[in-house]
């Protein structure tokens, strides 16, 4: 799908991977609706990107909030052709730790935001995309979900996070098989260690310690590199129903 003139809704779009994706899509002539709970950075990014960007405060776990964001995309930007799910949270804790078992409410929160919230975005955006007129390739929409390499080699303490991201990977193919008849593709990106606000809270020493384990390039990933992959997924019609790791060949150790 040619992103020029198309409208993309990006959850978690106010910062990190989502913000980088918003920038690259606008650079390619697209329009973006930045859907995020963080109002101040979201509005600032929309101002930076200009008339082809709009911020809407959105909680991906809320059906009403996501429906409202989709309605704004249609009314103010002219439609909905691309959806990129970048909203998520990171949590840590051991199943049987020094202070007792992993809190059940924290596990439920992690799965609710990272997996249920992603599915909520996908189902509502897909339903809206079925109404689009197909392009020359027969496409009506493209959806990109974000998982993590923790879905495949999660570390000790990542049980809730790994479970939530593995769920995103697991629903990629069945959704692709179902939506193919509408001309809607769906892919998942599984990033390794990227220089995002989530990692930005760590001391520089800890950030460096993480990056030395990446075979090549031996550094943290750049959000712009995630965004370039998301753009390639949008543009390449044969990419469908698969998860792509973007991690510099990193395979995480047990801890």
Q: pLDDT tens digits for the chain (255 residues)? A: 999 999 999 999 999 999 999 999 999 999 999 999 999 999 999 999 999 999 999 999 999 999 999 999 999 999 999 999 999 999 999 999 898 999 999 999 999 999 999 999 999 999 999 999 999 999 999 999 999 999 999 999 999 999 999 999 999 999 999 999 999 999 999 999 999 987 776 667 767 777 889 999 999 999 999 999 999 999 999 999 999 999 999 999 898
User: With DSSP H G I counted as helix, E B as strand and the rest as coil, what are the percentages for the chain, rounded to 5?
Assistant: 45, 20, 35
For residue 165, give Cα distances in angstroms to 91, 153, 160.
12, 11, 9
The Cα–Cα gap between 101 and 251 comes to 27
Order of strands, sheet of 184-191, starting from the edge strand that comes earlier in the sequence = 53-57, 31-36, 7-11, 82-85, 141-146, 184-191, 243-246
Residue whose structure tokens are 């964001």:
69
Q: What is the DSSP letter of 93?
A: B
Instruction: Say whether 226 is catalytic.
Output: no
232 within a domain of the structure (yes/no): yes
Helix or strand run (H / E) with residue 155: none
221 within a domain of the structure (yes/no): yes
Give Cβ neighbours of residue 170 (< 8 Å, ≥ 6 apart): none
254 within a domain of the structure (yes/no): no
The Cα–Cα gap between 186 and 83 comes to 9
The CATH number for 223's domain is: 3.40.50.720
196 within a domain of the structure (yes/no): yes
Please tell me the total count of domains within the chain.
Answer: 1
2 within a domain of the structure (yes/no): no
Q: How many CB atoms lie within 10 A of CB 4?
A: 10
The Cα–Cα gap between 30 and 36 comes to 19
Q: Are 85 and 66 in contact (CB under 8 A)?
A: no
Please pick, among 55, 102, 107, 161, the residue that the annotation labels catalytic.
161
66 within a domain of the structure (yes/no): yes
Tokens of 83: 């959806």
Give Cβ neighbours of residue 72 (< 8 Å, ≥ 6 apart): 33, 54, 56
255 within a domain of the structure (yes/no): no
Q: Which domain holds residue 129?
A: 7-246
Q: Are 85 and 142 in contact (CB under 8 A)?
A: no
Question: Residues 120-152, buried b or exposed e (16+ Cβ, 10 A)?
Answer: bbbebbbebbeebeeeeeebbbbbbbbbbbbbb
pLDDT of 202: 63
pLDDT of 211: 87
The Cα–Cα gap between 122 and 187 comes to 11
Tokens of 191: 């990033």
Tokens of 58: 């959105």
153 within a domain of the structure (yes/no): yes
């Amino acid at each position: 799908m040619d992103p020029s003139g198309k409208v993309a809704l990006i959850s978690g779009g106010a910062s990190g991977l989502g913000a980088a994706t918003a920038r690259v899509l606008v650079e390619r002539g697209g329009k973006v609706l930045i859907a995020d709970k963080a109002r101040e950075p979201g509005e600032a990014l929309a101002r930076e990107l200009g008339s082809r960007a709009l911020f809407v405060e959105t909680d991906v776990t809320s059906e009403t909030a996501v429906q409202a964001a989709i309605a704004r995309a249609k009314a103010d930007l002219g439609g909905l052709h691309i959806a990129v799910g970048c909203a998520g949270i990171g949590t840590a804790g051991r199943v049987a730790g020094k202070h007792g078992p992993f809190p059940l409410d924290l596990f439920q929160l992690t799965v609710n935001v990272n997996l249920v919230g992603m599915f909520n975005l996908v189902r509502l955006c897909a339903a809206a995309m079925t109404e689009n007129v197909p392009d020359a390739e027969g496409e009506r929409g493209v959806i990109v979900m974000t998982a993590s390499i923790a879905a495949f080699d999660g570390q000790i303490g990542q049980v809730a996070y790994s479970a939530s991201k593995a769920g995103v990977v697991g629903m990629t193919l069945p959704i692709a098989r179902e939506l193919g008849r509408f001309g809607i593709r769906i892919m998942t990106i599984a990033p390794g260690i990227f220089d995002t606000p989530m990692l930005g809270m760590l001391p520089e020493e800890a950030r460096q310690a993480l990056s030395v384990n990446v075979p090549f390039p031996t550094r943290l990933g750049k959000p712009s590199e995630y965004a370039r992959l998301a753009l390639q997924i949008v543009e390449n019609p044969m990419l469908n129903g698969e998860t792509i790791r973007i991690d510099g060949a990193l395979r995480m150790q047990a801890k």
